[in-house]
Amino acid sequence: MTMTSNLIRQSASAIVDKLRTEEITPLDLLDALEERIEEVDKSVNALPTLCFDRSRANARELMKKPVAERGRLAGLPVPIKDLTEVEGVRTTYGSPIYADFVPERSDVMVTHLERDGAIVYAKSATPEFGAGANTFNEVFGATRNPWNTDRSAAGSSGGAAVALATGMAWVAQGSDLGGSLRNPASFCGIVGMRPSPGRVARDPGVLADDILAVEGPMARTVEDVALLLDAMSGEEVTDPISLPREQRSYLEAARTPGRLRKVAFSPDLGITPVDPEVAETCRRAAYRFAEIGVTVEDAHPDFNEAHETFQTLRAAGFAASHAQKLKDHADLLKPEVIWNIEKGLKLTMADLVRAQTKRGEMMKRAHAFFDDYDVLMTPATIVAPYPVETRYVEECGGVKFATYIDWLAIAYAITLTGAPALSLPCGFTSEGLPVGLQIVARPRGEAKLIGAAAQLEKLLDLGTVNPIDPKTGRDGPQADR
């Protein structure tokens, strides 16, 4: 086994341990990543922008410090989603409008990570402005699912998920509004976590108090997600909703989880159709908790008004963030983005008041639900990976969706509650494609969520920690375990 293949198969936690003992250096890791990217990314298009000169320069500066002063990540390389600005690195937002944009400063989330020992080496692919849960854009083209390159990687953190699944990253940063961390994690067989709003500080942009969109960690295991969340979390004065770090690390929560009493499973949250095979795979996984003495019941809060509420709040956000782009560059925007902006511009004050009121009611019901249950589990996505040429899921179970985001309801309903949620690999379809289980905890309950996910991950023992080589439809999407 070559040094590269040996390194990429190790967990992020193991890699950081080796960095701290100086058994390996950040430069060794960058060399391994550059070799692996050259080998596999042409098949999946996950990391369209590389910055190895910048990363090696930063690694050398970090290595001048004593090991104890190199931060939690100690020089671990991290790719950054192409919606987030990195100083001196092309950042396109997946849009022709920004095809040649090179920012002069980094987002506060990036500077925060770099202070804690992260080495940024690439930008990961995203759909235009993160809109739509299929990662393609007019700048770089489509990102493909490595389990079957004829299929979608979902989105909008699709490039990050694919990079992890194929060994082009040990951990990755992503972001989530309506499932953008959870959907690609489900489709690609890795772990993606949406933290509570404020847990990860970021540049607030035009929506300074936004609690729908968050930044979060992705990795191949729960423990590695916890490792990255420890580095990502913490208060920053420039983000008015950012939260202080918790006293107990999330890595410790993954390694020594607390005991669970009672958990809930819902195949559909009462609001969406779900592919029967996906639903059954998730149900079997959720009920494995019974093997360690945890009571498992079918239950969920009332989410009946989630569709209207999320559609309204999302549209308002798109109008606030992108209305000027529609005015100046309508010919360069994809139809789905135009639709969302126009919908937002047509909203009335009454529409916004109703949406905010209904969101508040859903939050109260969710808090009450978690008085009775430690976590809630659902499918992370309602279908298995679909053909990459399909822009979005138009129907499921005989139900035709009205918009390009309706199929994401099982994820965006949770977004509205402010609760942290995680997609955990929980099985495979009859075609060998990954299925993710969404696990949700009380708002600001990241430690409990991570602990619960770590326990179930151990029970399921799917071997998804191992990176795979991309498979075409002819090869069949089988894991290299």
Token pair in block for residue 391: 């822009």
Distance of CA 141 to the CA centre of its chain: 20
430 is catalytic: no
Which listed residue (13, 55, 95, 180) is catalytic? 180
Q: What share of the chain is helix, strand, coil (3-state, %, to 5)?
A: 40, 15, 45
CA 119/CA 31 separation, integer angstroms: 13
Return the closest-CA partner of residue 131 out of 313, 328, 336, 310. Answer: 336
Element (H, E) at 426: strand 421-428
Considering 55, 81, 233, 448, which one is annotated as catalytic? 81
Specify the residue for token string 């607390």: 258
CA distance 324 to 190: 36
Task: Identify which of 72, 91, 79 has the alpha carbon closest to the alpha carbon of residue 30.
Answer: 79
Query: Residue 59 in contact with residue 70, Cβ under 8 Å?
Result: no
d(CA 461, CA 374): 22
C-alpha–C-alpha distance, residues 407 and 215, integer Å: 22
Q: Cα 236 from chain centroid?
A: 21
Record the tokens describing residue 461, joined without a space.
Answer: 């023992």
Name, in order, each residue with C-beta under 8 angstroms of 435's C-beta and a sequence gap of 6 or more: 186, 278, 281, 282, 379, 380, 384, 425, 426, 427, 428, 429
Residue of 95, 152, 156, 196 with catalytic role: 156
Task: Give the tokens for residue 158.
Answer: 């699709």
- Residues 87, 318: Cα–Cα separation, whole Å: 25
180 given a catalytic annotation:
yes
By the 8 A CB rule, do 181 and 232 touch?
A: no
* 156 labelled catalytic: yes
- 3-class secondary-structure state, position 120: strand
- The vertex-392 CA angle with 182 and 417, nearest 5°, equals 40
10 Å CB burial of residue 386 (0-12, 13-18, 19+) is buried
Catalytic residues: 81, 156, 180
